[in-house]
Amino acid sequence: MTYQQQISVTAKGHGEMHDLTEQVAKAVTTSGSKPVPSTFSTLGVRAPSARLNSSRAWSTTSPAILDKLIPPSRNYGHEQAWHDGNGHSRLQATLLGPWLTVPVADGELILGTWQQIFHLECDVRGRRRTVVVTVVRD
């Protein structure tokens, strides 16, 4: 059996993060059980071992580290073709990955003590995103 639910996220732009843990957990409870969030070329979904709402340093450091690894630049092939300022956004999102699989037991997400599911906006401009939670049951 498969169940899907959409979560809307509005991001102002590059580096903004949103905690999706509670909304994903509610989708699992509603459905019965193993979520997999979304697919966009400039969106990352992860479950790090750090709380966004209690670790301001972590939530500001992650985008900064991504900008050091894959800096904003006009030299990427995407930039040369489209000139839209987000060539690095697509590469950063590719590094993070647009999906996540989380195991479920007894109707609850199995996450580490400090883990949360979050959306990291990699694009340079604000976006309204729809994260699709897919719950797969045997």
pLDDT by residue (tens digit) across 51-100? 555 555 556 677 888 899 999 987 888 888 888 888 999 898 888 887 88
Name the DSSP class of 138. -
Q: What is the CATH number of domain 2-136?
A: 2.60.120.460
H-run or E-run covering 8: strand 2-11
Residue bearing the bigger pLDDT, 130 or 35? 130
- pLDDT at residue 34, as a whole number: 47
pLDDT band per the 50, 70, 90 thresholds, residue 7: very high
pLDDT band per the 50, 70, 90 thresholds, residue 41: very low
Mean pLDDT, to the nearest integer, of 10-18? Answer: 90
Give 42's strand partners. none
108 in helix, strand or coil? Answer: strand
